Structure 1
Amino acid sequence: MTTRPALLIAGHGTRHEGAADALRALVAMLAERHPDVPVAGGFFGAPASPLPLSGAVDELAARGAGRLVVVPLLLAPTGPIRESLPEAVARAAAAHPGLGFVCEPALGPHPRLLEVLERRLDAALGGGARRPEDRARTTVLLVGRGAADPYANAEVVRTARLLWEGRGFAGVESAFVTLAAPDVPAGLERCRVLAAAAPGGPGPDRIVVLPGFFFAGDLLERLRMQTEGWAAVHPWIEVLGAEPVGAAPELAEVVMERYRATVADGAAGGTPAGGVLPGAAVGAAAAAGGAA
């Protein structure tokens, strides 16, 4: 049995093969950069996922892992859901007696992830094809998953504010795909109204809709459908769609930073499946408010 804690990367709720491929690419990137750390990844909250979290737990256990550091791929917490991340890991780990784990909170608006979001915006704007001053006529709508927990939704709003600071965009507003207001059409309308009221013009030249989640999937498809519906009745406004974060090198850095901090703090001892140990209390509390 390996004494080094293994890294388990947990995505949330998708049955999309493209998302599974992106997570596989992220795992491969981390494995290549950090061959000393056993790493695997999977999705929780989607029973028919092509890359289930339980399979990743089984893989790490088969490779001799006795402890898992679980890092959720979430920019913002999900709020209460049917099965929280600690519950999903505990259920999978129950097949491996003695396997301990600790769940980390959502990654949040880490500066390196903000850099990726900014790069996705630039790509949507055409990269070098546009002038830097074009940002002043561009409003961004950052769209989160949406949750029943207002504190989870507040993280999306905080990310929008941090993304706006010092980057030259006319504004960065927030909206949600589901469970919370404003929804995507209302968020786009807010962008239009606020830009129209600003000095210097009748409204935005363009709005870029930026997904506030990591991978493609059902959420992204719903986001794009809602965006296309609003754009169809506002043809005079250029509405562009940015890509999700994806398997960016910066994401790999942030995940590994979280893993190493947990190991250094000694929190990676975790809890055996079915037990209630301090590691589980930390992990469960963090994930209930941060990854559940």
Structure 2
Amino acid sequence: MTAPSLILLGQGGRDPRVAQICQTLCGQVRELRPGLDVQVAFTDNPPTALQMINKLVEHGVTEVVLTPLSLSDAFSSSEDLAQLLTAIRAAHPGLQVVASQPVGPDPRLLGVVDRRLRDELRRRRVDDLDGLVFLADGHHDPRSHAIIARRARLWSTHHKLPTVIAFGGDHGPSAAEAVRSLLAQGRRHVAVGSWYLGPTDDFREQAQLAAEAGALAVSAPLGAEPELVESIISRYVVSAMDLVDLEPLLTEQQPVRHLTAVSA
């Protein structure tokens, strides 16, 4: 049997670079798992997840794993995702579809934040820091905020620098408020590490406000990096196993489906 298809669910948005990052990640997963059917869908742009699944079902696909490319949502139980799964199942009653955990907040991604920030510090010729801001894409789930805060503390401990967390959107405190709070403590060399996948409108606004508030550097979003590909595959493997039919094992001792095709 073939492995379940994988749909990477990205945000999309007005900036084409955001969608391109999702497409690049899709290509990288295909390179590492050439036997795996990998597609991209978006929440804000076509093709939507339902449009992509319609095409897959037309080609005979019966099992699908959705992997959200969200960095600040730590759970696959958000209301929007639940509604999406309900709509998909209503449209295709015979389809088995599950949502994996989002790629974030995988702690491996902190290494990407560091690389991006080092690049920006070199570009701006900054070689001394005494304060950091961890800027995360905002999310309404307080549990996700708590996990992001733990990632920020881990990042702060690693660098041995005082760190203030900031959130995009209206989830606050903003990047500018975080920068000003460090400056008010007597810090003079503050930089911002960005926990965003791509240059969304919200990221660009937060980055500009942070710079205006006195940040010496704001790192670029993570983009398509190997750590993200590893996280995608890990999330997929765990959820694909949820689709495995164990009944043959209990009755006829037949091999479990999918495992050789999706092993990490």
The TM-score bracket by the shorter chain reads 0.7 to 0.9
Q: CA deviation at 1:251?
A: 0.4
Asked if 1:119 is matched to 2:115, the reply is: yes
Q: How many percent identity over aligned positions?
A: 26
Deviates more, 1:250-259 or 1:154-163: 154-163
Q: Tell me if structure 2 keeps the 8 A contact 1:39–1:60.
A: no
What does the per-residue CA deviation read over 1:136-160, in whole Å, with 9 as the maximum and x for residues that have no partner?
x242211222233322222221111
RMSD between superposed Cα atoms in Å: 2.9
Give the structure-1-normalised TM-score: 0.73
Letter paired with 2:204: E
Structure 1 residues 82 and 110: alpha-carbon distance in aligned structure 2, compared to 1, 3 A threshold: closer
Equivalent-residue separation in structure 2 for 1:228 and 1:51 (angstroms)? 35
Q: For 1:111-260, what aligned pairs fall within 5 Å after superposition?
A: 111-126=107-122, 134=128, 137-168=129-160, 170-194=161-185, 196=186, 203-205=187-189, 207-231=190-214, 238-260=215-237
2:152 partner SS: helix
- Please give the TM-score of this superposition, normalised by the length of structure 2: 0.80
Structure 1 residue 115 displacement after superposition: 1.2
Which one-letter code corresponds to 2:143 in the other structure? Answer: Y
Quick check: 1:22 aligned with 2:25? no
Contact 1:100 1:269 in 2 (8 A): no
Q: Corresponding residue for 1:275?
A: none
Q: Which has the higher contact order (CA 8 A, sep 6+)?
A: 1
CA deviations 1:101-158 (Å, max 9, x no partner) are 111223333232111111111111117x666xx3xx2422112222333222222211
Post-superposition offset of 1:227: 2.1
Structure 2 equivalent of residue 199 of structure 1: none
Deviation track 1:210-255 (CA, whole Å, cap 9, x = no partner) reads: 2222112222122123224423xxxxxx521211111111100111
Partner amino acid, structure 2, of 1:125: L
How has the CA–CA distance of structure 1 residues 139 and 268 changed in structure 2, closer, same or farther, with 3 Å as cutoff? farther
Gaps of 5+ in 2: 246-264
Residue deviations 1:38-72, cap 9 Å, x none?
Answer: 1112222x2xx155333332343344321112211
2:135–2:195 contact (8 Å) kept in structure 1: yes
Query: How far off its partner does 1:25 sit?
Result: 0.7
Number of aligned pairs?
A: 245
Asked if 1 retains the 8 angstrom alpha-carbon contact of 2:102 and 2:235, the reply is: no
1:74 is matched with 70
Amino acid at match of 1:244: P
Distance 1:62 1:138, change over 3 A: farther
Q: Which amino acid aligns with 2:104?
A: G
